[in-house]
């Protein structure tokens, strides 16, 4: 008993030191951030300072609450990671995003740049979308609502995006701990999701990638928790929350409701609780998923964008000649591997899919040249390339753990199907990304980044060294063959 009391006192003192360190970090962040905002922002500057304080303190409270609920003292790192994330966000805003946010700048025209201006124009146009030509206008309503309430400057949406990503990351941690069950000392490393480079970068911009990542994660993981009974969720509560998420997905990027629907169906078939039958609930859930898929297709058109046709979208994903990727406006590099993997027909779309997934994971590798002068000049393109490159390296290093965990989850499904929640969510979503977007653009993979990290973490925490080594041999062997082919193909002409 004395030993247990001593351990409790040590844990309590460590917790207090953690809180004091975070308070010091928070004070410095608020002082420096507020001074920077007031010195450089003319529109809604005081509102922005208040928002910085609100998301900083509110985020720390959420991190503290997650740590307490999961009863893992080492999750105190969540608070530090959150404050680091906010500091990096402010740095990237001034170093790599705001310098080229003027429509008169040379590199103007990137989607997030246009969204920043068009969201304000949407307000000025009395919420009518007649002045724009955009597939999914829901993202403009999202940022337009933020600007309408808080004011129009580039820092406000970045802080909101960071907070949304925080909530998604905390949910990932919560579900990960539920799935894994038995605790071990290194489980807190799942919290590194907050500092994944791509998420740091895309949170800075008025983009839709990290918002979509959060919505997708919440929708599919909530369904998985219900089916595996890792948490107590009623069917009515589940249907309400997931429906809201799916309709938001439909408004922001309608095509992504298909992987949500597919993930739910696959989970209904394979994710089972140990000692409880859910036949009726699963039938109802499948019907609800089909209903939201049908209704969700009309959301974009209702908001003023283009009507979404699921059948036509699937056709374009399997027919290069009918896809925008084959239009005259697209400029492919000489001997482009991505162009080589453009499918023509359903059979090629299926055969090319695994190779396209690998390209999505590793791009822009093997290109590692980052123009340092452009970084100092404030080029958003250079900063995006840097953070995309860092994420690609992380993808290469963590994929063996995800593959090992995937293999183990299938083999151990009779004992527990809970780990399949992460894997079904990730692999179905990522297959939809790689198969549905014929242009290899790394930003699309951001929508699945958090889920991939969850799969890799699960492999690192539950798989044996033998399993990881075996998966590494397969993964790095595949990359070696791909590198040989890439070199030969690029130098053949």
Residue in 233, 230, 212 with CA at minimum distance from that of residue 161: 212
C-alpha R_g of the chain: 23
Strands (E), 372-429: none
CB 239 within 8 A of CB 264: no
Domain presence at residue 96: yes
CB 337 within 8 A of CB 365: no
Residue in 282, 277, 243, 281 with CA at minimum distance from that of residue 266: 282
Domain presence at residue 97: yes
How do residues 261-274 score in pLDDT, each as one tens digit?
999 999 998 988 76
Burial class (CB in 10 A: 0-12, 13-18, 19+), 271: buried
Domain presence at residue 306: no
Cα 114 to Cα 105: distance, rounded to the nearest angstrom = 12
Domain presence at residue 468: no
Which pLDDT score is estimated for 424? 96
Task: Tally the domains of the chain.
Answer: 1
pLDDT tens, N- to C-terminus, the chain (493 residues): 444 444 444 445 555 666 788 899 899 999 999 999 999 999 989 999 999 999 999 999 999 999 999 999 999 999 999 999 999 999 999 999 999 888 887 778 889 999 999 999 999 998 888 777 777 888 999 999 999 999 999 999 999 999 999 999 999 999 999 998 888 888 999 999 999 999 999 999 999 999 999 999 999 999 999 998 888 888 888 888 898 999 999 989 988 999 999 999 999 989 887 666 678 888 888 888 888 888 877 777 777 666 676 777 777 777 766 665 555 555 666 667 777 778 788 888 889 889 999 999 998 988 888 889 999 988 999 999 999 999 999 999 999 999 999 999 999 888 888 999 999 999 999 999 998 888 888 999 999 999 999 999 999 999 999 999 999 999 999 999 988 888 887 777 5
Which pLDDT score is estimated for 11? 47
pLDDT-above-70 percentage for the chain: 91
Domain presence at residue 5: no
How do residues 213-238 score in pLDDT, each as one tens digit?
999 999 999 999 999 888 888 888 88
Residues 6+ apart with CB under 8 A from 385: 364, 370
Domain with 42, as residue range(s), is: 10-101+154-195
Domain presence at residue 416: no
Domain presence at residue 111: no
Domain presence at residue 360: no
CB 250 within 8 A of CB 231: no
């Amino acid at each position: 008993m004395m030993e247990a009391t001593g351990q409790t006192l040590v844990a309590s003192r460590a917790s207090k030191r953690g809180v004091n360190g975070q308070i010091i970090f928070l004070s410095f962040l608020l002082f420096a951030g507020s001074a920077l905002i007031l010195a450089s922002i003319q529109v809604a500057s005081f509102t922005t300072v208040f928002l910085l304080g609100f998301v900083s303190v509110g985020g720390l409270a959420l991190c503290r609450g997650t740590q307490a609920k999961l009863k893992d003292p080492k999750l105190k790192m969540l608070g530090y990671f959150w404050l680091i994330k906010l500091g990096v966000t402010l740095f990237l805003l001034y170093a790599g995003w705001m310098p080229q946010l003027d429509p008169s700048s040379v590199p103007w025209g990137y989607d997030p740049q246009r969204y920043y201006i068009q969201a304000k124009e949407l307000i000025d146009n009395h919420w009518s979308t007649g002045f724009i030509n955009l597939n999914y206008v829901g993202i403009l309503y999202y940022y337009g609502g933020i600007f309408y309430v808080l004011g129009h400057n580039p820092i406000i949406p970045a802080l909101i995006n960071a907070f949304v990503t925080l909530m998604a990351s905390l949910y990932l941690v919560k579900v990960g701990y539920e799935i894994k069950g038995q605790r071990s000392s290194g489980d807190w490393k799942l919290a590194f999701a907050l500092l994944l480079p791509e998420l740091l970068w895309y949170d800075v911009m008025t983009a839709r990638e990290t918002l979509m990542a959060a919505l997708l994660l919440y929708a599919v993981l909530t369904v998985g928790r219900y089916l595996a009974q890792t948490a107590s969720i009623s069917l009515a509560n589940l249907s309400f929350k997931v429906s809201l998420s799916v309709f938001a997905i439909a408004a922001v990027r309608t095509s992504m409701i298909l992987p949500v629907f597919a993930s739910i169906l696959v989970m209904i078939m394979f994710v089972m609780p140990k000692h409880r039958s859910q036949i009726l609930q699963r039938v109802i859930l499948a019907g609800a998923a089909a209903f939201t898929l049908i209704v969700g297709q009309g959301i974009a058109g209702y908001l003023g964008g283009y009507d979404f046709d699921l059948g036509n979208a699937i056709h374009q994903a399997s027919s290069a000649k009918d896809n925008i990727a084959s239009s005259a406006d697209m400029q492919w590099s000489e001997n482009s591997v991505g162009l080589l993997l453009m499918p023509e027909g359903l059979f090629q779309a299926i055969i090319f899919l695994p190779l396209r997934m690998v390209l999505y994971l590793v791009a822009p590798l093997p290109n590692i040249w980052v123009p340092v002068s452009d970084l100092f000049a404030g080029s958003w393109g250079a900063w995006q390339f840097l953070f995309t490159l860092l994420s690609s390296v992380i993808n290469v290093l963590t994929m063996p753990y995800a593959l090992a965990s995937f293999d183990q989850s299938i083999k151990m499904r009779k004992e527990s199907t809970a780990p399949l929640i992460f894997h079904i969510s990730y692999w179905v979503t990522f297959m939809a990304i790689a198969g549905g977007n014929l242009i290899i653009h790394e930003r699309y993979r951001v929508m699945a980044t958090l889920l991939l990290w969850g799969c890799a973490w699960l492999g690192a925490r539950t798989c044996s060294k033998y399993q990881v080594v075996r998966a590494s041999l397969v993964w790095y062997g595949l990359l070696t063959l791909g590198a040989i082919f890439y070199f030969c193909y690029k130098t053949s002409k």
